[in-house]
C-alpha cells in the first residue's frame, strides 16, 4: 500500500509567486490560495547570485505582505532550499484568503535572509516576474500598485535582448 506524501504549506511572496517558476523547481507544488503575512514588509535587499537584489522579508510594524500559498511535499523542501540559497526557512502564521475573503490563519513556511546587498534595486525582469505572479494569483490591486512602484534597473547581461 502506497503512503500519502506529507504536505507542507509554503508562502511565496517573490519570484516563486509564479506557479510555472515554482513548478520548474518543485514539480509537485500545488497552488492553495492566497495569504497575507502581517508584521512584515517586502523589500528587495537580499544579495542574489547574479549580484542583483532579490525579494526579502523584514519585520515591519503595521505592515503586511501578500503572497500565494502552495502545498509542497515535505521531502521536496530540501530541493527548494537549494534554489533559495542565502535564505533561511521561517515558520509564519498567515491569514489565508479564498475568493478575496479571509479564511482563518494557517502556519506556512517561507524564506527570509540576513544577507543584504549594498544596492537594493532588483533587475527589471525580476520585478516583472513578481508582478506577473501576483497578477496570476489575483492579489489585491493596492498590492499590485505597491509592486509596480518598486524601483528596478536594467540587467546589463540582458542588454543584447533589448
SS3 category, 133: helix
Going by C-alpha positions, the residue among 21, 145, 40, 31 that lies closest to residue 98 is: 31
Which residue do the cell numbers 513556511 mark?
Answer: 109
Q: What pLDDT is attached to residue 101?
A: 78
Percent of the chain past pLDDT 70, that is, above it, reads 94
pLDDT tens-place values along the chain, 162 residues long:
555 678 899 999 999 999 999 999 999 899 999 999 999 999 999 998 888 999 999 999 999 999 999 999 988 899 999 999 899 999 999 999 887 778 899 999 999 999 998 889 999 999 999 999 999 999 999 999 999 999 999 998 875 544
Q: Over the chain, what is the mean pLDDT?
A: 91
This prediction's pTM: 0.92
Reported CATH class of domain 7-154: alpha beta
Which residue, 115, 159, 152, is CA-closest to 130?
152
Amino acid at each position: 500500500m502506497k503512503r500519502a506524501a506529507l504536505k507542507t504549506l509554503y508562502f511565496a511572496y517573490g519570484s516563486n509567486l509564479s506557479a510555472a517558476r515554482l513548478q520548474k523547481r518543485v514539480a509537485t507544488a500545488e497552488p492553495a490560495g492566497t495569504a497575507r503575512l502581517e508584521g512584515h514588509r517586502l523589500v528587495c535587499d537580499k544579495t542574489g547570485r547574479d549580484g542583483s537584489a532579490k525579494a526579502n522579508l523584514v519585520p515591519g510594524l503595521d505592515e503586511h505582505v501578500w503572497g500565494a500559498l502552495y502545498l509542497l511535499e515535505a521531502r521536496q523542501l530540501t530541493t527548494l532550499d537549494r534554489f533559495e540559497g542565502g535564505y533561511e526557512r521561517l515558520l509564519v502564521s498567515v491569514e489565508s484568503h479564498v475568493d478575496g475573503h479571509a479564511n482563518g490563519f494557517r502556519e506556512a513556511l517561507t524564506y527570509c535572509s540576513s544577507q543584504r546587498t549594498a544596492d537594493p534595486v532588483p533587475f527589471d525582469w525580476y520585478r516583472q516576474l513578481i508582478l506577473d505572479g501576483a497578477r496570476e494569483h489575483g492579489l489585491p490591486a493596492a498590492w499590485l500598485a505597491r509592486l509596480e512602484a518598486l524601483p528596478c534597473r536594467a540587467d546589463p547581461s540582458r542588454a543584447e535582448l533589448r
